[in-house]
Amino acid sequence: MASAVSMGELVALRPLLDWLPGETLFSLCSRYHFISGHRTPAQTCATLFGSHRAGSAHDVPSHVQTLVDRTHGALGTAREIILERTLLPFYFPFHPAPKSEHWLTQIATGSSPVMKAQLGLAASQFGASHPLKACPVCMQLDQSGYGVAYWHVEHQVPGVHICQVHRKPLLVATDKVSGRDRFGWILPQQARLQSSMDEEFFWNGDHHLLAESALAFWRLPRPFAFSPEKLDKLYLSELVRLEIAHHVTSRIDQIRFDQTLYGVIAANSLTKFWPWLASTKGLRSLSARLRRMVHPTSPRISRHPLIHLFWIALLFDSWQDFWSAYNNNEYLSLYDIAPAGKTTGPTMKGVGDSGDPRRARLVEAVRSGQSISMAAKQSGVTVATAMSWAAREGIASPRRPKVLSPDVRVQLIKQLQRGIDKTIAASAAGISVESVTRVLLTEPGLHAQWREARFSRMQEQSRGSWRKIVEAFPTSSSSDWRKLDPAVYAWLYRNDRTWLQTSIRERSEPLAVATQRRDWKTRDAVLAQAVRLTALEWHVAHPGKRMTIGIICETVGGLRQKLSAIAKLPLTRMALLNACSHSLAKASTSQKTVL
Ligand SMILES: [Zn+2]
């Protein structure tokens, strides 16, 4: 019985159970499941976690301490495994530190069946499942580098829809979502992976901001926790700054808010991930949920990180912008902080600040015709404070212009000159895409500059992606390169053909050599797998004994003859080293020389 496997045997299997870079706990266990030859997922659960149903959830693990004990801590502590090898730290910064600690203990020592409900996932429109995700380029590289495609933890974090390394849209697995297979073990090669978004959408969107911020949440050190009240105030102050909320009453211009929100959803093709956002009802419901958080009299907090990702995409240009704004606390000076438990909304503090010497200077400057934002800058106060001081003196706030204000127009033109997408520019300026097009076509020379800048960006991205493929697979044929990224190939073929053809012509070596190399690669992968399986069977049959190359050579046909060419077989070399790592210290000189 697998459940009767002793600790000693698991420790002997340890070289085969080492982490791959950035691998998830679920991935390592799935690899173990396939190498072990167990017939049912329950056998692997029992061997690793001590119970037939334990540990196979790919998002919220359980009984991690049992795995740690059975591997004598070789994989790290339970805490390290949960914090570094699962997506869960994504949720922790939005909950009080003691609560997160409680979950950590529960998952380490047993299970936490109510954790998803306590995180508010079950009740949220975003759902409680975390579909497995994989990058097609990482899969290829892992297959050739490690002999197996595995699940990367950074791809699994909610809100991450692209691979940050290869800038490719992630593929989404339909397995493990519900039904009986949710108890199974699976690796990317066996999963039913579907493309999550069109390349065209991908190039136009701003997925990097979402992915960057989601990963930043995931990486925040323990025991950091956001103050939900501070976040709500930060969002409101930004809305005031962007003139989406009124500077005195804090009331939100719902039409502008919804337009901006829609811009973010469209630019990031978020309806692909959350189809309910495509309906008017879904959009309204999200808008209402966000606006409730900045309600002037009874704001509500939200502890769902995805809701905060929406805010960041709505209001900030980068994670860094958001993070410095959150930490500099400047926005708090705009409001009286309501005592804990009191539900009255924030009230503008600057309004009654008649003693501040800057106030008279600022009011004077605005009266003499200076713009509010310029006067605010010169006085060293925020625009929101400047507006409230001016309003107190009876100076009407500038009405939102029917045409673009000169400041916004200058900003918009700068962004368009850099080749920014029209949808994003429209969202940032709070105007329609049609208005952006009008500016593009009416400002002399701007349309040509915009097209040129967009071309350069696409060219840089496409050439970069192509170079990475060529470098990663130097001996593959150009048609193989093309298959690895058809969209990049198509773009280069249409727009940058001379460069593309040169890169293919100037490949590092002739094709005949490449074919030979490919044969070695295939041979290497097959031999390495044979070595791993032989080692596994031998360790199970001889717990605690030392493995030697001689023993492996007796079983793996043709291996002995290949040892003289081991330099050409890196995967086999690695598999041999792993298999014999217990005995290497005392290994014979000849064995050391070979490896
Ligand atoms: Zn990747």
Q: How high is the pLDDT of residue 195?
A: 85
On the question of pLDDT at 593 being above 80, the answer is no
The tokens of 329 are what? 């606390």
- Residue ranges per domain, the chain? 2-201, 226-346, 349-400, 406-505, 511-594
Question: What band does 374 get if pLDDT is binned at 50, 70 and 90?
Answer: confident
- How far apart are alpha carbons 595 and 591 in whole angstroms? 6
C-alpha of residue 161 to centroid of ligand 1, in Å: 11
Q: Considering only residues 400 and 422, tell me which one the structure prediction assigns the higher pLDDT.
A: 422
Per-residue confidence at 468, pLDDT binned at 50, 70, 90? confident
DSSP code string of 86-145: SSGGGTGGGS-HHHHHHHHHHHHHS--TTHHHHTTTTTSTT-S----EE-HHHHHHHHHH
Q: Which residue would you say has higher pLDDT here, 464 or 374? A: 464
Residue 323 has pLDDT above 70, yes or no: yes
The complex scores an ipTM of: 0.99
* pLDDT for res 337: 36
74 Cα: distance to centroid of ligand 1 (angstroms): 27
User: How many angstroms separate the CA atoms of 261 and 312, rounded?
Assistant: 11
CA of residue 137 to ligand 1 center, whole Å: 5
Q: Sorting pLDDT into bands at 50, 70 and 90, what band is 144? A: very high
- pLDDT of amino acid 595: 46
Q: Ligand 1 centroid to 537 CA: how many Å? A: 33
Centre of ligand 1 from the C-alpha of residue 142, in Å:
10
Q: Mapping DSSP to helix (H, G, I), strand (E, B) and coil, where does residue 190 land? A: coil
Gap from CA of 21 to ligand 1 centroid (Å): 12
Q: How many CB atoms lie within 10 A of CB 539?
A: 22
**How many A from CA of 134 to the centre of ligand 1?**
8
Stretch 213-239: mean pLDDT? 91
CA of 22 to the centre of ligand 1 (A): 12
106-119: pLDDT as tens digits: 999 988 888 888 88
Residues lying with their CB under 5 A of ligand 1, a single-atom ion: 135, 137-138, 163, 165-166
Cα–ligand 1 centroid distance for 163 (angstroms): 5
pLDDT at residue number 358? 79
Among 199, 310, 203, CA closest to 258? 310
Distance of CA 170 from the midpoint of ligand 1 (Å): 8
| Mean pLDDT, residues 281-293 taken together | 93
pLDDT at 591 over 70: no
Residue 138 predicted with pLDDT over 50: yes
Q: Compute the distance from residue 301 Cα to the ligand 1 centre, in Å.
A: 35
What local confidence, expressed as pLDDT, does residue 206 receive?
Answer: 59
Mean pLDDT of the region 562-578: 79
Note the pLDDT of residue 336: 41
Neighbours of 463 (CB within 10 A): 17
pLDDT of residue 10: 59
pLDDT in tens, 328-362: 876 665 554 333 333 333 333 333 345 567 778 87
As to burial, measured by CB atoms within 10 angstroms (0-12 exposed, 13-18 middle, 19+ buried), residue 392 is: middle
3-state SS of 517-552 is: HHHHHHHHHHHHHHHHHHHHHHHHHCCCCCCCHHHH
Question: Which position has the higher pLDDT, 98 or 562?
Answer: 98
Ligand 1 center to 155 CA (angstroms): 9
Stated as kind and residue range, the H or E segment containing 311 is helix 305-315
Instruction: Write the DSSP symbol of residue 405.
Output: P
What's the confidence (pLDDT) of residue 116? 85
Ligand 1 mean position to 160 CA, how many Å? Answer: 12
Ligand 1 center–CA 153 separation, angstroms: 12
How far apart are the two ends of the chain, measured CA to CA in Å? 36
Q: What is the pLDDT of residue 61?
A: 92
Question: Using 50, 70 and 90 to split pLDDT, how confident is the model at 151?
Answer: very high
Would you state the pLDDT for residue 108? 94
Which range in 94-98, 563-567, 583-587 is most confidently predicted, on average pLDDT?
A: 94-98
- Whole-angstrom Cα distance, residue 578 to residue 592? 13
